[in-house]
Each structure stands twice: as C-alpha cells, then as structure tokens.
Amino acid sequence: MSDIVTPAILSKFNEDGAVCLRNVFDQHWIDKVATGIQKTMASPSEYGEKLPGPGGLGVYFNDYCNWQKIPELKEYAFDSPAAEIAGRLMRSEYAVFYHEHVLTKDPSTHKVTPWHQDQAYYPIDGVKNCSIWMPIDPVSMETTIQFVRGSHRWGKWFHPRHFATEHKYTVLQDVHQHREYHDIPDIDGSSEQYELLQWEVQPGDCIVFHMMTLHGAPSNTSLTTPRRILSTRWLGDDAVLAERPWKPSPPVLGGLKTGDKVICDTFPIVWRDNLHVH
C-alpha cells in the first residue's frame, strides 16, 4: 500500500483536501461494486431518492447504509484496498467504516449536485476522516466531481442543503456547540476566487477527499454513458458522535451517545495499522 499512499500523496491530501489515485481497484472489485450498485437500485432503502432534473431524460439516484444487506458492498468495505487507503490517508491507528453511498446519474440527467460539505450533515466530530469516491464508469471532465482546493482548512462549517431542493436543512435545536454554520458561497458565480480541483477518472481509479472539503458535481449531459459511483465514508481514531442542529443524514447512530467513540457493530473497525498494535 505504500506505493499508493506515498508521502507525496499524503501531503497532497492534507494540503488540498482531495487526491486522485489511479488503478487501485482491479476488475474483481469493479464487478463487485457494480453488482452492489445494481442491487441497491433494485431494492433501495427508506433513504433512497430519485431526483429528476429540468429538461433531462434521466434521474439522479442516491441511497446509503445498505451494506449490511448487500454482500458485495460489505465485501468491498472489509476486503478491498479501500480501508487501508483510508486509514493511511487519515494517519489513523485504525479505519472505521461509517457507511456507503451509491450515487448514480443516468445519461441525460440534468441535475447538479449542489456545492456542500459532508461533515455538517453527519453526526460526527473529529478531523481524521475521508470519503473514497469510486466510479464504475468512465467519468469525463464535464461530469466529474469538483472540489474547492484547501477548503477543509478554512475552519468553516457550512449549512447543509437538501439535494432535491437545494434548500437549507431546518434547524431543530440549539446544540450549544459554539459553532457557526455559514451559507455556502456562490462558487459557480465567483469561480475566479477559488481554485477548483477535478479529474477525469476511469473504473479502477478513485478520488479521496476530506469530509470538510467543499464539493459538488455537474449534470451528466452524456447521451450514452451513466455515471455510477460508490462513495464509502471512513472515520479515524479521533471520531466521536456529535449533535447537529438538524436531523443528521444519515440518521443512524448505532446505539451510541453523544461523545462516544464511533466504534460499534454498525460502524466497525475494518483495518488497523500493525505499527500501532500492541
């Protein structure tokens, strides 16, 4: 794994908040993920969404937290290179599998993924975390995910938005965190103020990003190629369960209480750094 998570890659991840890794998943894992995505779409959970866009023929589908009922997703989380990649990029003694998120855009899906920051949605505090965004289709520069370089280091939390409406989440409680949540800046309308990162990717590649990094994605305007993604969420050894002023997404707590380390059957440790095993 040291030939994948090199010191240069680690430095890039810490500095930029997102890195692209090439050819890290072989055909076995691409096929496993493809089957897992297909099963998720055929039998979505209560969290699943199908979001049409204006004027397009396709839909943006997303669903999460299905790994316990879909063996291919569980096998990917526990046995693929993903967990070790996450653990090493997080510089953590171990990697906890938080959940998986299936994200697909049919050909001619005119639905953007709004700019957002993942960690504000999650009931998770801690700086050691990442998501691994793995495509099973070729993703062009016109349809790929985009990041605001270095935004994970701004020290700012942003108010989460619903993907369906792009409206902000409703504040339900004062959680006394002494933390201000900001509105998402108009990144598309003032792109000269920000350095954006994006990569064309192929099956076998992945993009790894920090949960505080601002990101979004355009429509899939291709008439022939879907954009099917498995994004897996990973937590490190400083992650604790936290309250949010709104209903968290996903609203899954694994029986834990605020302040607990995020380790349980719902959020299992799937990789440990042998250098830290005593």
Q: Give pLDDT, residue 278.
A: 36
* pLDDT-based confidence at residue 175 (cuts at 50, 70, 90): confident
DSSP-assigned states of every residue in 69-118: T-HHHHHHHHHSTHHHHHHHHHT-SEEEEEEEEEEEE-TTB---EEEE-H
pLDDT of residue 263 exceeding 60, the answer is yes
pLDDT digits (tens, 9 = 90+) for 82-121: 999 999 999 999 999 999 999 999 999 999 999 999 999 9
Q: Cα–Cα distance between 186 and 250 in angstroms, integer?
A: 26
Spatial contact of 217 and 146, defined as CB atoms under 8 Å apart: yes
As a whole number, mean pLDDT of residues 51-63 equals 91
* pLDDT-based confidence at residue 261 (cuts at 50, 70, 90): very high
Q: Give pLDDT, residue 1.
A: 67
